[in-house]
Structure 1
Amino acid sequence: MSLRTGSSLAALSRRLPRDDADELTWLLFHQEDVLSLDQARRHLSPKAIRHRVATGRWRQVHRAVFVAHNGPVSAGQRRWTAVLAAGPQAVLGGLTAAQSGGLRGFSDRPVHLLLPASSRRGSLPPGVLLHRTATLTDRDVLAVGQPRRTMPSRSIVDAAQWASGDQEARAIVAAAFQQRLVAADDLHQIVNRLPRVRRRQLILATATDAAGGSHSLPELAFLGLIRRAVLPEPTRQKIRYDSTGRRRYLDAYFEEWGVHVEIDGGQHVDPRAWWADMSRQNGLWVAGDRLLRFPAWAVRAHSNEVLTQLGGALKAAGWQGQPNP
C-alpha cells in the first residue's frame, strides 16, 4: 500500500461515523454534510433546526437546503445543494456529471442539472444551470453513486452540446477519450438516440478522431491541417518502445515514411518538462526516422509553415504526392 493510499484510508476512517451513529449522522455522511429541509424535518423538530442555524452549527445555503457546518462550501456540496433544491427527478448532467466521474481540466462552475421535460422543479440556487430533456431513461443514469448523475457517455455528449463554443466542445470530447472515461462507440450510440443534439456532426467527428488517437485540441487541429492539404493520414498514439523498454505513445507517425510529428503543448514552457520530453525522444529514435516538432500555437498561427515542413520531410523520405496549397 502506498503512503498516499494509506493516508487517504486513515482520513476516511476518521470521517466515517461510528456503527452506533444515528440516522441523521449517516445521512450527513452520505450527502457530504448537505441536507434538505424535508430531510431535516424527518429527524429534528423545527425548533431544533432553527437552533442549529442560529448557533452556527448549520448554514442555510438555499431556501430549503442546509450545510451542517459554517465553513467554505466545497464543489461536492454545491452539487448536492443543486440536486436537493431542484427536486427528486433532477440529476447532475453534462460537465458537472462528467467531473463527478473523474473528468479533469475544466471549471466546476456552474453546476449543470438535467431534468425530464415534464418534471416540476424547485427554486434553484445561484450558479446552477438547469437543462430539460425529453430523453432520460434508466440507462442514461448511473445506477450507483450519489448524487445521481448521468452516465459518462451521456454526460460528455450533453457537455459538448451545452458548451459555450465549438472549441470547448471539442476539448471536452477529446479530454474524455484522453482520460479514458469513454470508449470508441459510446458517444455515437448516445447521439443516435438523441434526436435534437446540438453540434451533432462536430461531436461525432471529434469522437471518431479522438478514438483514433487525437487526444488534444492541437492534435485535432493538426489532423485537420493534414486532411485539408490531402497529405497521408498518420497513425495516432502509436505505441513504440524506447531504449529502456518503456512503452511510449507517438502523437502522429507516418509509418511508411518513418516520419514522426510531436505537438508540444503548454507543458514545454517548463524547462524540466521539455528536457524530459527530449530525453524520451532521444531514447525512441533509430537511424532513418525523421522527427518534426511543432508547438501548439504554430499549428494554429503558422499552419502554412507547418504543412511546408511536413510535406518536405515526407517527400525527402520518399512520398511521391503533392500537398494542396
Structure 2
Amino acid sequence: MDEIRALLELQDGVIARRQALAAGMTPIDVARMVRRSEWVQVHRGVYVNHTGHLSWNQRAWAAVLACWPAALDGWSAVRAHEGPGRRAGDRAIAIVVAHERKVVAPAGVIPRRARAFADQVQWNLTPPRLRYDHAIVDLADRARTDLDAIAVLADACGGRRTTARRLGAAVAATSRLERRRFLEAILGDVEEGTCSVLEHAYLTNVERPHGLPKGIRQAPAIAGGRRMFRDVLYRGSKPAWAQLVELDGRLFHDSTKARDRDMERDLDAALEGADTVRLGYGQVFDRACTTAGKVGRLLQIRGWTGEPIPCPGCASLRTTGKCG
C-alpha cells in the first residue's frame, strides 16, 4: 500500500501498529508481516522492516512511536538536531510527553513529562524533537554540577548552533527551572562578553572562605597608552610584591586576536613587576578549594606572610576528593 510505504520511508523503516491499521491494514495483515519476518517488533506495537541491527534514527523513531504522542528529549533531541558527531549513539533514548500523561516506557527509553510540551516540540521534524534551545536549557538546568551546566551552554554557543540571547529567551519561556538565576547570569555574561559571575564566584568560593588576602577588584592600569582594568590585584609592601589573577570567563575558543591581546596584557603586567595567572570556571566552580590552596602558595612565594585557612568544603575535599 502506498500509505504504508510512505510511512516506512518517512520513519526510517519503523511503523506503529496503530498507523498500519489506520492506513487500511487488518490485525491479520500485521500478524502476517511479523510471522514472515518482514516486520520485526522493536517495542510493543512498534515494528521495523528488517531483521538487522537498528540504526540510532530507527531506535529514536521506535521510542517516539511507542510512547506517542511523544518527542525526543535531552541529549537525544540534541543528537537529532546536531547529527551523530561526538554524541554517543548507545545511550538510552530520551523522550518527552505531555505533563498530564503517565507513560510506562519500554526498556531503553527514558520518559519525561513537561508542562509546555506542545509549545516546545518541533513536530515537523523527523522524528519530532524538543526545540534545540529548550533542550539545551533543560539539560543545563538538570546538569549534575554548575560546571556541567556551563559546559552544556558552552558547547551549544561554541558550536554556533544557537546564541546566548536565544537561550535566554528559552529560559524566560520555561516556567520551572531550578537554576534559573544562575543560567540567566551565565547567559548574560556570554552575551555581554563579561565574566562578572566568575569574578563574584572567585570572591565567594575561593578568596573569602579560605582567608586569602583581600584583592583589589578591577584595578585600573595603563598599558601601551590604553586604560584597562585588572580583574584581581594582590599587592604587598614589605617586601613589595604583586600578583594578578585574571578570570577568563570565555566559555569557548575565542579569536586568535583576543587571545593575543590577553597575552600582551600579561606581558605588560610583568614589566610592571606583577605576574599573572588565569583561572577559568573549572578552577573557580569545580575545584575552588584546591585552587585556593594553590593561589595561597603562590601569594606566599610572592611575599604574603599569611596562611590559607580551610573552609567546610575543604573537609569534604579530604574525605571525598571533591570540593564542597
What amino acid is aligned across from residue 98 of structure 2 in structure 1? P
Task: Tell me if 1:117 matches 2:99.
Answer: yes
Name 1:321's counterpart in structure 2.
none
Q: Is residue 239 of structure 1 aligned with residue 220 of structure 2?
A: no
Change (3 A) 1:291 1:107: farther
Q: Which residue of 117, 122, 133 corresponds with 2:114?
A: 133
Task: Pick closer, same or farther for the CA change 1:154–1:311 going to 2, 3 Å.
Answer: farther
Aligned counterpart for 1:53 among listed residues 19, 34, 56: 34
Q: Report if the CA contact (8 A) 2:247-2:280 is conserved.
A: no
> Following TM superposition, by how much is the alpha carbon of 1:63 offset from its aligned partner in structure 2, in angstroms?
1.0
Amino acid at match of 2:255: I
Task: Give matches, 1:278-297, under 5 Å.
Answer: none
**What residue is the counterpart of 2:127 in the other structure?**
147
Give the conservation status (yes or no) of the 8 Å contact 1:235–1:252.
no
* Residue 161 of structure 2 is aligned to residue 181 of structure 1: yes
**Matched residue count:** 255
Corresponding residue SS for 2:42: strand
* Alpha-carbon shift at residue 196 of structure 1 (Å): 1.7
Aligned partners of 1:151 and 1:221: how far apart in 2?
Answer: 29
Structure 1 pair 235–63 and aligned structure 2 pair: CA distance change class (3 A): closer
The answer for the alignment partner of 2:291 in structure 1 is 303
Cα RMSD, aligned residues only: 4.4
Moved more, 231-240 or 34-43: 231-240
Whether the 8 Å CA contact 2:78–2:132 is kept in 1: the answer is yes
Structure-2-length-normalised TM-score: 0.62
* C-alpha spacing 1:27/1:256, structure 2 compared with 1 (3 Å): same
Residue 74 (1) aligns with residue 62 (2): no
1:34 aligns with 2:14: yes
Output one character per residue of 1:26-50: Cα deviation in whole Å (capped at 9) or x when no partner.
Answer: 2111101111001122243333322
* Largest Rg, 1 or 2: 2
Distance, in Å, in 1 between the alignment partners of 2:88 and 2:148 is 11
Structure 2 residue corresponding to 1:160, chosen from 126, 137, 140: 140
Aligned with 2:256: secondary structure?
strand
Q: Quick one: distance in 1 between partners of 2:121 and 2:268? A: 44
Report the counterpart of residue 253 of structure 1 in structure 2.
262
Q: Distance in 1 between matches of 2:14 and 2:260?
A: 44
Give the AA of the match of 1:250.
Answer: R
SS at 1:96's partner residue?
A: helix
Equivalent position of 1:95 in the other structure: 75
**Contact 1:160/1:172 (CA < 8 Å) preserved in 2?**
yes
Unaligned segments of structure 1, at least 5 residues: 1-20, 215-219, 242-248, 261-289, 316-323
1:169 maps to which residue? Answer: 149
* SS class of match (2:129): coil
Tell me the SS of whatever aligns to 2:164: coil
Could you say which residue in structure 2 is the equivalent of 1:17? none
> Structure 2: which amino acid aligns with 1:196?
R
Cα distance in structure 2, aligned partners of 1:142 and 1:304: 46
Residue 257 of structure 1 and its aligned partner are, at CA, apart by 4.0
Q: CA deviation at 1:87?
A: 1.6
Contact 2:246 2:276 survives alignment (8 Å)? no
SS at match of 1:182: coil
1:107 to 1:206, Cα distance in 2 relative to 1, 3 A: farther
SS of residue paired to 2:38: coil
Following superposition, the deviation at residue 154 of structure 1 comes to: 0.5
TM-score for both structures, normalised by structure 1? 0.62
Q: Which runs of 5+ in 2 are unaligned?
A: 208-231, 233-244, 270-274, 309-324
User: Could you say if the C-alpha distance between residues 134 and 43 of structure 1 is closer, same or farther in structure 2, counting changes exceeding 3 Å?
Assistant: same
Contact map agreement 1:116 1:135 (CA 8 A) in 2: yes
